Structure 1
Amino acid sequence: MLISGLLVGVALGFVMQRGRFCVTGAFRDIWVTRNTRWLTAFLVVVAVQSVGVFALDAAGVIRLHGDAFPWLATIVGGFIFGFAIVLAGGCATGTYYRAGEGLVGSWLALITYALFAAIMKTGPLAGFNTAMRSVTVEQSNFYTVLGVSPWLFVAVLVAAVALAVRHHLNKPRIAMAALPPSKTGLAHLLFEKPWNAFATAVVIGIIAIAAWPLSWATGREDGLGITTPSSKLVGYLVTGDAELVDWGVFLVVGILLGSFIAAKGSGEFRVRVPDAATVIKSLGGGALMGIGAALAGGCTIGNAMVQTAQFSFQGWTALVFMILGTGLAAKLTIMNRRQAPAAARVPAGV
């Protein structure tokens, strides 16, 4: 059954690469261009998965359970992670699928991300991580605190996201020039035709739902997740302990493989070596991603996509602070750089 993790990972990596599903860009666009199209697509994933998760729970296929909310670690870790993904040029999953495209900078970010996640979870900083995550409150999710059915939250989320999607679909689209298709049929649809952001999000949401029963069947009681599997992969490579190789490890390996297949099929695979400055940013961003994700209890997948679908305090708090961290990094590395040349053109004394 572990092989199902590889298959889910291949599907996820393929869809994210072909759909250009960049969570870092979704968060960054809020601050840089004031555009919420990709954030809305991200929330489509959350909404679709939420319907599926609570349906699976109601059917007895899985059993959702809430843990205490480690509020301090979630806030600090979420903010660090959000800041880091701008430096690294992609979130955890984005780094995996861009590594599959041949981006050497993403290879470097991926290595330090996985390494520092392992350092935080089972290495020298495990004590610090545990201490930070031990600062908790008992309440774990919104619907339990309010004493209402989770389906009320599901309905509100689905309705709100549907309205946001409608808003974006009603906006006039700029026609983009494109080369004549060189493929036909399914090959054209899979490897050549641009994928719609919201259609891509629905497919990712369905993959996320499928991950739950498949993962549970192997004894791993969770859905999609990137940080802990990445940490376990490092542990396995260092110790050779085969018990560390679970469904999640197969998942992250599958993401690499799926994105490589998609990039090769679409002609987008190319080994690209970054300059020295990008190398430093990739290494530092990846390290901070590992630290932040370990503290927060998950990345943009485990927290902002999976935990939010369960309406946990951890998931939604992490999402908010990831966006805030991304905003600060965008201001320091992108927006200030744009403003500087403009300021230099203003005559003295004006």
Structure 2
Amino acid sequence: MVITGIICGVLLGFVMQRGRFCLTGGFRDMFIAKDNRMFYALLIAIAVHGVGIYILIDAGLVQFSAGEFSWLGVIIGSFIFGIGIILAGGCATGTWYRAGEGLIGSWIALATYMLMAAVMRTGPLAPLNGSVQEYALPNNSMAESTGLSVWVFVVILLAVVTWVLVREFRKPKVAIPSLKPKRTGLAHLLFEKRWHPFFTAVLIGVIAVAAWPLSQATGRMFGLGITAPSANILQYIVTSDTGFINWGVFLVLGIFLGSFIAAKGSREFRFRMPDVKTGLNSASGGLLMGFGASLAGGCSIGNGLVMTAMMTWQGWIGLSFMILGTWTASYFVFIRPMKKRTTTAAPPQAA
């Protein structure tokens, strides 16, 4: 039943909001602050997802075909998407859950993201999208391309994640001052206590695994996905064609609802209006997100979490160029202006 899409989305939106699982900030912090924690959390989510999904595949409960590797679209689209999420202040999923917090800038980014994704899929830019997708290699599966078992790649990923966990938890603990809890019991754990990003990542990985059989039960042969369902919402509004409504649409609407519930429960929901510059950045970032994700065949969730866990070239190469795009945009949006301000503020040298 498609109602399971809402349930899955509510859980995902709730977990991501409470865990502040923001890949945009994580990729940016890797470059600016040299903080890799959110990237490590993503690797954990991918590992949990990969193990779970291939257990289901081996058991015959889930079907998956990697298909072709549209290398040109993945490279160009992922890089553009990475630039877009910096301008928009959040990736595709992050934009949905931050909109649930009342952030108007995310509403703006979400609107332009949905618009451009629809234009790329069935609108005037569909021929361009299709022509770029034609530049493809016949095999997208890393296992089939190398002749190795997919479990070899899963085990390598698990080894990396284990190293990350050992490395991170051996670091000296930094005391974080905390206020006296205002709530007790389950309410404190759900809405007040800080969620560790690694714990959040495990939950996201489990939800990603569950999404596959739930989605395939309705005839949609995929797991978590954001771009196509987002475009489908706008296409349905314009055409009233119920063919656009599927499990994925209920998923993204559930993300919004789950984030809203989490934000209200933690008293973090409030409407926040951006200034003009931020609003323009959100709009342009949303356009770039929709354009790039359509070319790449996935966003930070579709490629960065799902297709990586499926051990495809599309996923891992897409994730790499996505990160490269965020670093490029971070330099021009954050670092370069900061250097200019520092240079301007510096006192003139004495003669």
Distance 1:147 1:193 in 2: 46
Q: Does the 8 Å contact 1:81/1:289 carry over to 2? A: yes
Work out the CA distance in 1 between the residues paired with 2:18 and 2:32.
24
In 1, Cα distance between the equivalents of 2:345 and 2:272?
Answer: 34
- Counterpart residue number, 1:63: 63
Give the match for residue 165 of structure 1.
Answer: 165
The Cα shift of 1:344 comes to 2.7
Inter-partner Cα distance in structure 1 for 2:137 and 2:164? 33
Give the distance between the partners of 2:347 and 2:271, measured in 1 at CA.
44
Equivalent residue for 2:326? 326
Amino acid aligned to 1:264? K
Question: What's 1:155 paired with?
Answer: 155
Amino acid corresponding to residue 295 of structure 1 in structure 2: L
**1: CA distance between counterparts of 2:181 and 2:349?**
55
Unaligned runs of 5+ in 1: none
Normalising by structure 1, what TM-score?
A: 0.98
| Aligned AA (1:99) | A
Shift of residue 323, structure 1, vs aligned partner: 0.4
Are 2:122 and 1:122 aligned? yes
User: Residue 349 of structure 1: CA displacement?
Assistant: 5.0
Write out per-residue CA displacement over residues 71-130 of structure 1, whole angstroms, 9 at most, x where no aligned residue: 001000000000000000000000000000000000000010011000001111111000
Find out whether 1:48 has 2:41 as its counterpart: no
Match of 1:311 in 2: 311
- Would the aligned equivalents of 1:26 and 1:42 in 2 still touch at CA under 8 Å? no
Letter in 1 for 2:116: F
Amino acid in structure 2 at the alignment position of 1:142: M
The answer for the alignment partner of 2:263 in structure 1 is: 263
Paired position in structure 2 for 1:184: 184
- Aligned match of 2:208: 208
- Name the aligned partner's letter for residue 301 of structure 2: I
CA distance in 2, matches of 1:110, 1:175: 37
CA distance in 2, matches of 1:247, 1:60: 21
Size of the alignment, in residue pairs?
350
Question: 2:83 aligned with 1:83, yes or no?
Answer: yes
The residue identity in structure 1 corresponding to 2:237 is L
Partner SS, residue 41 of structure 1:
helix
Matches within 5 A, 1:3-14: 3-14=3-14
Which runs of structure 1 show a deviation greater than 4 angstroms over 4 or more consecutive aligned residues?
none
1:117 touches 1:228 (CA, 8 Å); kept in 2?
yes
How far apart are the structure 2 equivalents of 1:171 and 1:341? 35
* Displacement after TM superposition at 1:347 (Å): 4.2
For residue 168 of structure 1, report the CA deviation from its aligned partner: 1.5
Aligned to 1:341: 341
Q: Work out whether 1:286 is the aligned partner of 2:271.
A: no
Q: Contact conserved, 1:69 with 1:313, CA < 8 A, in 2?
A: yes
Q: Is the 8 A contact 1:74 1:317 kept in 2?
A: yes
The whole-number CA distance in structure 2 between the counterparts of 1:346 and 1:177 is 36
Query: Could you state the TM-score of these two structures normalised by the residue count of structure 2?
Result: 0.98
Residue in structure 2 matched with residue 21 of structure 1 by the alignment: 21
Distance 1:134 1:274 in 2: 40
Question: What is the distance in 2 between the residues matched to 1:94 and 1:51?
Answer: 24
In the alignment, the residues of structure 1 paired with residue 222 and residue 82 of structure 2 have an alpha-carbon distance, to the nearest angstrom, of 23
Q: Which consecutive unaligned segments of at least 5 residues does structure 2 have?
A: none
Per the TM alignment, residue 217 of structure 1 is displaced from its structure 2 partner at its CA by 0.4
Tell me by how many angstroms 1:142 deviates.
1.3
Q: Percent identity?
A: 52
* Equivalence for 1:94: 94
Alignment of 1:32-47 (within 5 A): 32-47=32-47
Q: Distance in 2 between matches of 1:132 and 1:104?
A: 33
| RMSD between aligned residues | 1.0
Shift of 1:337: 2.2
Amino acid across the alignment from 1:182: K
1:11 & 1:170 partners in 2: Cα distance? 31
Partner of 2:198: 198
